[in-house]
Amino acid sequence: MREGGVAISTKCNFSDPREAEIAAACGFDCIWIDLEHVPASITTVGDFVRAAKNFDCDVLTRVSRGSYSDIIRPLEADSTGVMIPHLMSLEDAKKVVYYSKFYPIGRRPVDGGNSDAGYVCQDMDAYIKQANEERFVIVQIEDPEPMEELEEICALPGIDMIFFGPADYSQGIGKPFQFNCPEIAEARRRIAETARRHGKFAGTVGGVGNFAELISLGYQFVNVGADVVALQEYFSKTANQLKEIRETARG
């Protein structure tokens, strides 16, 4: 992304790290794992990171909203980035930066005894510098409330990416899953434009059908699909085909 390219990601709801290896081997740049909605654990993060590294693939962890430990533990497990869901205000964003970036940007608690610091093998000054520069902190705009402070949020040092979540945003404006409504289109455009103007990356979810459109809007990180979607589509298609063949055979 820093070279001007677009990173493609896919989401894994299940906890088998072989998923990360398959997706990475197929050419995805990033695997998104989720601690907000699914029963994964910090152990899952570490397992996925090690699996993805076999194919030089990154891991993004969406955290649960809780204590500061929920933000920093995936980073310590060597996740390339963390994504904080449902950012609601500039003040909320400042707290995220405070706990996710080391001095002089924030006050992320220091340990150094985990995978991201080579289990105390890395020089601590180099570790703090590398973590601040190379670990992505992403905030999700998926509610209408923070749009009032979007300029200030995008300008905040320590936030690396603004990620638009259209599903919950559609609920927030009273139009659940009406993804083609003007309000969604305007929010999608405005978030990308504002993020880029302040030197931040813009990310969102999409598909093959609108991938080119998202790139044209300025999005440089796009998540496409998920393991549950792939399995549902394959199982449904296969089961229906087999049922048709079975009924035809019965004559």
Per-residue pLDDT in tens (0 to 9) along the chain, 251 residues: 999 999 999 999 999 999 999 999 999 999 999 999 999 999 999 999 999 999 999 999 999 998 899 999 999 999 999 999 999 999 999 999 999 999 999 999 999 999 999 999 999 999 999 999 999 999 999 999 999 999 999 999 999 999 999 999 999 999 999 999 999 999 999 999 999 999 999 999 999 999 999 999 999 999 999 999 999 999 999 999 999 999 999 87
d(CA 20, CA 12): 8
Both tokens of 168, joined, read 């919950």
Cβ-based burial of 40 (10 A; exposed 0-12, middle 13-18, buried ≥19): buried
Summarised one tens digit per residue, pLDDT across range 88-130 is 999 999 999 999 999 999 999 999 999 999 999 999 999 999 9
How many whole angstroms separate alpha carbon 139 and alpha carbon 152? 13
